[in-house]
Every structure is written in C-alpha cells, then in structure tokens.
Amino acid sequence: MDDHSELGNELLRAVARLNRWASRHAAVEVPMAQARLLALLDELGPARVSVLAAADNCSQPTMTTQLQRLEAEGWAQRVPDADDARATLVSLTADGSAALRQARGARVAVLSPVFDRLDEADLQRLRTAVTAIEDLLEHAAQSPTPPSRKEP
C-alpha cells in the first residue's frame, strides 16, 4: 500500500470510529439512519430523490422509503422543481432542522467530557486536525469526478 492509501485508510477509519462512538453513546432522539439522511439533506440542500440516492449510494426505491419516514415525522417536504414541473425536490423542514440540531448536539455532548480531560496542546492539535480535514474536503469538492466505486 502506498503512503496516500495508508493515510487515507487511517483517516477514514479514525473518522468513522469517532462517529460510531459518538452515535453509540449519545442520547439521540432521532434514529441514526434518519439523522444521517437529515444531515445529507442539510449538506446538499433541496435535491431530487435520484440525487439523494446517488449521494447515499442506495437505490431510488430505498431512498424513497427513507424519505417517506422523514416526511411522516414532518422533517422533510417535497416541493415542485422550478426547472422541471414533472420533478420534485426534497428539503428539510424547520422541524427537520431542529431534529438534526438535537442529534448533532447529543453527539457533541458526549465528547464534551473527553475534551475537558485534554490539555490545551491536545485541543490545539484537534483544531488543527479539523482545519486539515476541512481543507481536504474542499480539495475533494474541487476534484474531477471521483474514481469508480468498485473498490471499497
């Protein structure tokens, strides 16, 4: 494995493990699968079901079922697509944004006691890591079409 592959693997594993740990210990009122979809809607803004399905790497029928759950809770809504009268866009409602804030807040709350045990040098390292990850995401967003999804 080359240096970039190893670094990429380590980064993705660490971020995923931190996410799972925070989710497992948080008092989240929203099922995590729905919280993840709320976060996707928040990230992408109003989007077609097909765009959401592609972004979540699932089928359109699967995404439709997941969105119906959000709509039943009042967390998402469909509105006509101004560019194509035959299509609809799905977006967060105010209640959906509130549910997402609660889920995010609960996950952050479990990290707070951990942060309290760190010294200022460790906290600064974390701030630097966050900046580096945000920079990486910015570079990724500017990259041409990502490679095939054939390899995990």
User: pLDDT value at position 45?
Assistant: 92
CA–CA dist 78, 142 (Å, integer): 29
Establish how many alpha carbons lie within 13 A of residue 81's alpha carbon, considering only the half-sphere containing its beta carbon.
13
Over 60: is that where the pLDDT of 136 sits?
A: yes
Domain count, the chain: 1
For residue 110, the domain's CATH number is 1.10.10.10
Q: For residue 76, what are the β-bridge partners?
A: 92
Domain that holds residue 104: 21-116
136 in a domain, yes or no?
A: no
Could you tell me if residue 139 is inside a domain? no
pLDDT of residue 4: 87
| pLDDT (average), residues 133-152 | 74
List, for residues 18-35, the tens digit of each pLDDT value: 999 999 999 988 998 899
For residue 105, being part of any structural domain is answered with: yes
Residue 82 inside a domain? The answer is yes
pLDDT of residue 152: 43
Residue 144 lies in a domain: no
What does DSSP assign to residue 148? Answer: P
* Mean of per-residue pLDDT scores for the chain: 91
- Round to whole Å and give the CA distance between 113 and 87: 46
Residue 5 burial by Cβ neighbours in a 10 Å radius (0-12, 13-18, 19+): exposed
Please tell me the distance from the alpha carbon of residue 61 to that of residue 71, in angstroms, as a whole number.
15
Please check whether residue 26 is in contact with residue 109, taking contact to mean a CB–CB distance below 8 angstroms: yes
Q: Is 32 within a domain?
A: yes
Give pTM, 2 decimals.
Answer: 0.82
The count of other CB atoms within 10 Å of the CB of residue 90 is 23
